[in-house]
Amino acid sequence: MPHNYCSSSCAAKVNNQRYPKWPKRYCAECNKEFKNRSSDYCSNKCGRLAISKYRLDKSKYTQEQITSLINKFYKEHKRAPAKREVLEIVGCATNKFGSWTNAIIAAGLEPHRSHDRRMYKRTKTRALDGHLCDSVSEAVIDNWLHKNQIPHTRNGKYPSTNHLADWQIGEGVFIEYFGLSKDSPRYDREVEIKQQLCRKHQIKLIEIYPKDLYPANRLHEILNELK
């Protein structure tokens, strides 16, 4: 049904709301402007090029080079870098250390802390014995237990609670990988709850942190008593 308007500005206001224009969007690879859609790239060609670069970046730097670049940023800015500030090493750092937080810790710095309830992206990884682990780092620990012939089960249940331990050894030993320690106050509160539960129920708790895996693996020192 046609409508009449008192002015062209009123007509434009109503029609812009009813028939919105595509917002400007720029290709993440070539920076060419294109119409808004679900992809971040203007064409399949740019998408494939970006993926090939990302795969190359995952192996471009060594662990020592990554921590050196992180520390160089720290010297210049007096704080740990956010991922968006050092995009050239993020893919490789995540691949080499298991997560960006682990890379920051390996460089001897304090990770940025989050007070919200943000979710953390984890990479499900199958260990050598078939156990499904929540991250590459957990798989490293599970594989160590398997190679050293230490019987273990995943997701041991804490008494009188729904909390689960990463690994249970026999009846009285839990192993936890606190991979996000000092990254989120909410996560740190969960760690404290588990520590209190172990003290209350006289469960031996073996705590493993990113610094125990990166840059040098120290599992033989921490878990050797289980042999």
pLDDT at 36: 57
Q: What is the pLDDT of residues 150-190, one digit of tens each?
A: 999 999 999 989 999 999 999 899 999 998 887 778 888 99
> Over the stretch 199-213, which tens digit does the pLDDT of each residue have?
999 999 999 998 888
Whole-angstrom CA distances from 42 to 21, 23, 51, 126 are 18, 14, 14, 36
> Of 141, 124, 112, nearest to 223 (Cα)?
141
Please give the model's pTM, rounded to 2 decimal places: 0.53
pLDDT digits (tens, 9 = 90+) for 10-67: 777 777 666 655 556 677 767 777 665 556 677 878 777 766 665 555 667 888 899 9
C-alpha R_g of the chain = 24
Strand-strand pairing, 204-208 and 33-35 = unpaired
pLDDT tens, position by position, 57-67: 566 788 889 99
